[in-house]
Amino acid sequence: MKKELLKKIRSAKQILILTHTDPDGDAVGSAWLLQKIIQKLQPAARAGLLFDPEHKAELDYFIKKIKNIAVKMPDLIISVDASDLSRIYGLSGCRVNIKIDHHESKSSFGELNIVDPRAASCTLLIYQLARQLGLRLSKPMAEALYLGLSSDTGNFAFANTDTETLAAALECVRAGVRPNQIFNKLNEQLSFQEIRDFAVALRSAGAHCGGRLITASIPAGLKVDNRFLIDFIRREKNAQVAAVCVEKKDHIKLSLRSKSGINVAAVAAVFNGGGHKEAAAGKIYSATLAGAQKQVIQYFQKYVFPRQ
C-alpha cells in the first residue's frame, strides 16, 4: 500500500486533491495535510486543492492559510474524506486515482483505495501514512491534523476518541498547535443573528419513541449550523439518537447522531446516505420539512425502537 502510494505520488507532476461537497474541518484538514506531505515527498510536483465554495464561513480562516496552486491538467487525482464518488466536489467526469477515506463504504472508486473506518478522522489516517514514510510533523501539518481530529471527534468527546486520537493530538500540541485557538476559530464565530436563529430552530425540538429519539428541524432561511443544533439536542439525557432535518433547495438533508451503539449509518443508508456508526447523513426527497421529519420518525418507530 505504502509503496504503491509513494510510486504514484513520485511519478506525478500535477496533483489535484479533492474532497466532499459542503466540506467540514476534516475534509479541509485532510486536503491541507496531504498537500504538505506531497510537497515533502515530491517537491517538483504541483499539488493543488479544490474546495466547494459553499462551505461554512469558519473554515475560511484555515483555507486562507493553505497556499493553493492552480492545477489545470492533473496527472494524479486524490480524493480525501469522501465515501462516495457523487459527493466529490470538482471531479467533473475524471477518474479518482487514489481514494483516502475513513467512512464505512463499499464504494472503492479509486485505482488505489486506502480506507480505514477505524480511523477517527481522515487526517489521522493520512498522518499515520506520513509516519510510516518517516516524515516529521511540521506546525502547518499539525494544524491540519488537529483541525480534522477535533472536528470529527467533537473536540475529543465522541465515542471515537481513544488513545490513537489523543496521542496524535499530543503530537500536534508538541508541534505548536494551540487547541484553544483552533476551538475559537471553529466554534466561537457565530453572528448575533445566528444565535437568534438557533433559538427559533431549537423550538422545533421533539421527543419520540419514548424519549429515545430526539428531533429538530431547520427551515430554509434560518442561518443555523445543523451540527451545532444536533450536538445540542443530543445532550438530552434519555436520547439515544438525535436527528435533524434541514430544508435545502431540492431536498431535505438528514443528520443523525447516536449515543447508544445504534448504527445510524445503516439508517442513513435507507435515506440515500451513509457515514459512521455514530454520525451519519442522508437526503430525503420530500416537498416539506414536516413530511421528511414524519418519514424519519416513522422509520425509527417501526425499525429501530419498536414497541415490545
Site residues (vs Mn ion, CB under 5 A): 26, 81, 122, 152
| Complex with Mn ion: residue 255 or 293, whichever CB lies closer | 255
- Residue 291: CB minimum distance to Mn ion, A: 30
For helices 2-10 and 25-41, angle between their N-to-C axes, nearest 10 degrees:
70
Residues 259 and 240: beta-carbon distance below 8 Å = yes
Residues 240 and 253: beta-carbon distance below 8 Å = no
Residue 112 CA to residue 84 CA, distance in Å, equals: 15
Give residue number: closest CB to Mn ion: 26
- Residue 35: CB minimum distance to Mn ion, A: 17
- Cα 269 to the center of its chain, rounded Å: 16
| Complex with Mn ion: residue 117 or 219, whichever CB lies closer | 117
For helices 25-41 and 139-152, angle between their N-to-C axes, nearest 10 degrees:
150
- Residue 27: CB minimum distance to Mn ion, A: 7
| Complex with Mn ion: residue 90 or 117, whichever CB lies closer | 117
Residues 79 and 112: beta-carbon distance below 8 Å = no
How far CA 137 is from CA of 71, 196, 290, in Å, comes to: 25, 41, 48
- Residue 152: CB minimum distance to Mn ion, A: 5
Residues 284 and 245: beta-carbon distance below 8 Å = yes
Cell of 157: 468527546
| Complex with Mn ion: residue 26 or 197, whichever CB lies closer | 26
- Residue 46: CB minimum distance to Mn ion, A: 26
| Complex with Mn ion: residue 81 or 104, whichever CB lies closer | 81
- Residue 279: CB minimum distance to Mn ion, A: 9
| Complex with Mn ion: residue 208 or 257, whichever CB lies closer | 257
Question: How many beta carbons lie within 10 A of that of residue 232, not counting itself?
Answer: 16
